[in-house]
Structure 1
Amino acid sequence: MGKTYTIRSNRLTAIWDPDGARLRSLSLDGGPNMVLDVDDAVSGRLRDAYAGTIVGPLANRVRGGTVPLNGATYQMPCNEDGITALHSGPHGLDRATWTVAAQDRSALHFTHQLPDGYGGLPGHRDIDLWCDVMNDTLTLRITLTTDAPTPVSIAHHPYWRVTPDHLLQINAAHYLTTDDTNLPTGQIAPVADTPFDHRMPRAIDTATDHNFCIATARRDRPHAVAMLITRDHILHIASTEPGLQAYSGAFLPDIPATNVAPLAGIALEPQGWPDAVNNPEFPSVICTPDHPYSQTTEYKVQSAT
């Protein structure tokens, strides 16, 4: 493990790694790590599953990696058999070494720059990530400014440790159906009478890797998005983002002698709706010089005991 940075409140301790602006550990009152993590010297396979990183600048899947914008088409590098660009392909923010701009006891400020054309997308982009802990809440604030219109949907990608008796609530009445490549079909479907109805707490279905439609536009302040209940802790997620990608972790690697295995953790990623650049009816993810990108996501943690 390389150099890490620790921030603390009176209750929370968070450990960050500049490699991918990666959350390596989050613990409450000195308890166990609530996110899956493995030292890369043991195995890099969890790292390759985006564990704890910031993903983007265009999170989730983009069909063919193609981005139509203002009469032009931009090509992102694909990293799923040439079919999709997942989390902006092989050179996304998760693979960047972020700069630590400032740190104090309870807060950490990362920065990163993307030059015009990097990752196949237009605009010189300046990204700031502020992480702070206060009492029982970890807050992430992410901003991006650009000198040209460009698509932006950034997400934080931790895998939250779960127990077999976990319960997940998601404040969404609709979700996006997907095809056999896990891309949205364009249909916005009711969750009612499906395995994806989490309006009341229930265990996540192992086939879940879907966007839940939280809102039709980014909000000015965080709203309650999801609640995860495990044997050890209760996690409340609030965000400004209009979507939540929930992934059961069914294809997580099995790493012996660690707590990492399929279904050992689930990803809950506030973000824009996936492949919005190719679905005009989805909430827009286009950022312009006059309308910078800004996201706030809050993780409030309680002990379950």
Structure 2
Amino acid sequence: MKRKIGIPLVVILGALTRESIASAPSPPDYNCTDQPEGSFDPILLQNGDISAQFIRYGATITHLLAPDQSGTPRDVILGFDYGMDYCAESTHPFFGATIGRVANRIEAGTFSVNGENYNTPLNENGCDTLHGGFVGADRWVWDVSESSDSSVTFTHTSPDLDQGFPGTVKFSVTHMLSSDNTWSIDYSATTDMDTIISMTNHAYFNLNANMNGEGTVLDHVINAPNAGKYIPVDEYLIPTGTIDPVPDYLNFTSPKALSVDIDSGTVDASGGYDNALFFTDYAPNVSRKVISMHSPITGIAVLVTSDQASVQLYTGNNLDSTIPRKKSQCDEGEGEGGECFYEWRGAATLEMQAGVDNANHRDGGFPSIDVKAGSQYKQRSEYKFGVVYS
């Protein structure tokens, strides 16, 4: 069954010119109660043994259920029970959202294209642009151009100078569930001006489903055989300009549990991961198996295939037991006393992307994120779910 849906969204943030565009000093009013009809309505997909739920706001995945080793479906990504919370939650952790125009960080919110300088919002600590700015793809209300029982295609047109980025860009992202229990994401975009584009999805995985008394991902085992390099960053998580051999604490070229070296991380005083691993087998437009993760508790495993150069591994360092868990991630009776919250280190992201601040590092091995007028940006990533029996 095919069904067509399409409700346009027009957001006017004020008149912008190339001379007046500047980094926004503070976030805008997101008007969460005044979004277009259907912005937060669930869109359900199912195929094989997995199912997923999406909303148009941010082209966001809100639920993803995969069977554990006993065959019980488990919701393996963090999120909210109510669609509007993806807009209204003050901490805005980007749960499940489509990220763009440019994923990760842009140093000082500035870059150049063809010798012309552009400024984007300083929406992280007042020193860089994170995930496309205050109103990036995660806060667009996307149209649904086509949908079936197992796939949905979201589209959105971002106007010239949207968040300071050049060019009018037509974006498309298709989510599909395959009968072999694979969730695939296909991104595409076309632009009328030379610009920069780098997309990703910001799903927070917890393959324990935050249940069975285990709310962290410290037991999760990661294996990325070709992630022999990484992108070193400074204290603000901005690249220092090189791509180096991976240090021991970030070395997942052999299977290793997150708990082993997480406290040796350099994200903050308590350790943690928020790092871009770089794949030594990267070649433009070539998909290959890049990273896997599994839970010894539930047996749920995910294998990622992607054509991207790096993966941002983030371990929920900012989760602090203040965001309530979804009902699908609370054990029976849990939460009645207010204790069912997402915990510190309660998730791990596997954000497939080009890298970090690539627009300001057009050499040194950083893949280009430049997209020429009239050409097409494309990206594909797949997350295949299975079971590892202990």
1:135-182 Cα shifts (integer Å, max 9, x gaps): 210111000100111110001000000443211112311001110101
1:198 to 229, 244, 252: 252
Cα distance in 1 between the residues matched to 2:73 and 2:281: 37
Are 1:149 and 2:191 matched, yes or no? no
Q: How does 1:227-242 map to 2 (within 5 A)?
A: 227-230=292-295, 231-232=297-298, 233-242=300-309
Q: Is the Cα contact below 8 Å between 1:184 and 1:275 reproduced in 2? A: yes
| Contiguous gaps of at least 5 residues in structure 2 | 1-38, 208-216, 263-270, 325-334
Look up the SS of the partner of 1:241 in the other structure. Answer: coil
Aligned-pair Cα RMSD in Å: 2.0
Normalising by structure 1, we get a TM-score of 0.94
1:224-277 Cα shifts (integer Å, max 9, x gaps): 121011122101011111111111111124135335121111111000111011
Q: Is the Cα contact below 8 Å between 1:161 and 1:264 reproduced in 2? A: yes
Q: How does 1:46-61 map to 2 (within 5 A)?
A: 48-61=92-105
**Counterpart in the other structure of 1:102:** 146
Q: Is the Cα contact below 8 Å between 1:37 and 1:46 reproduced in 2? A: no
Are 1:8 and 2:46 matched, yes or no? yes
Look up the SS of the partner of 1:111 in the other structure. Answer: strand
2:236 to 181, 185, 193: 181
Look up the SS of the partner of 1:90 in the other structure. Answer: coil
* Residue range with higher mean Cα deviation, 250-259 or 181-190: 250-259
Cα distance in 2 between the residues matched to 1:47 and 1:293: 31
**Counterpart in the other structure of 1:37:** 79
2:178 to 134, 145, 149: 134
* Residue range with higher mean Cα deviation, 260-269 or 287-296: 287-296
**Counterpart in the other structure of 1:264:** 346
**Counterpart in the other structure of 1:225:** 290
Show structure 1 runs of 4+ deviating over 4 A.
Answer: 40-47, 215-218
Q: Is the Cα contact below 8 Å between 1:46 and 1:253 reproduced in 2? A: no
Cα distance in 1 between the residues matched to 2:45 and 2:99: 21
Look up the SS of the partner of 1:294 in the other structure. Answer: strand
**Larger strand fraction of residues:** 1
Q: Is the Cα contact below 8 Å between 1:38 and 1:46 reproduced in 2? A: no
Q: Is the Cα contact below 8 Å between 2:229 and 2:280 reproduced in 1? A: no
Cα distance in 1 between the residues matched to 2:168 and 2:282: 24
Amino acid at match of 1:143: S
> Residue 151 and residue 216 in structure 1: after superposition, are their counterparts in 2 closer, same or farther (change >3 A)?
farther
| Contiguous gaps of at least 5 residues in structure 1 | none
1:68-117 Cα shifts (integer Å, max 9, x gaps): 11111000011013200000110100011111111111111110110111
The CA deviation at 1:46 is 8.4
Q: Is the Cα contact below 8 Å between 1:217 and 1:283 reproduced in 2? A: no
Q: Is the Cα contact below 8 Å between 2:228 and 2:280 reproduced in 1? A: no
Look up the SS of the partner of 1:94 in the other structure. Answer: helix
The CA deviation at 1:215 is 5.0
The CA deviation at 1:222 is 2.0
Q: Is the Cα contact below 8 Å between 1:216 and 1:283 reproduced in 2? A: no
The CA deviation at 1:303 is 2.4
Cα distance in 1 between the residues matched to 2:229 and 2:154: 34
Cα distance in 1 between the residues matched to 2:92 and 2:360: 26
**Counterpart in the other structure of 1:208:** 273
* Identical positions, percent: 27
Amino acid at match of 1:199: T
The CA deviation at 1:217 is 5.8
**Counterpart in the other structure of 1:164:** 218
Structure label with greater radius of gyration = 2
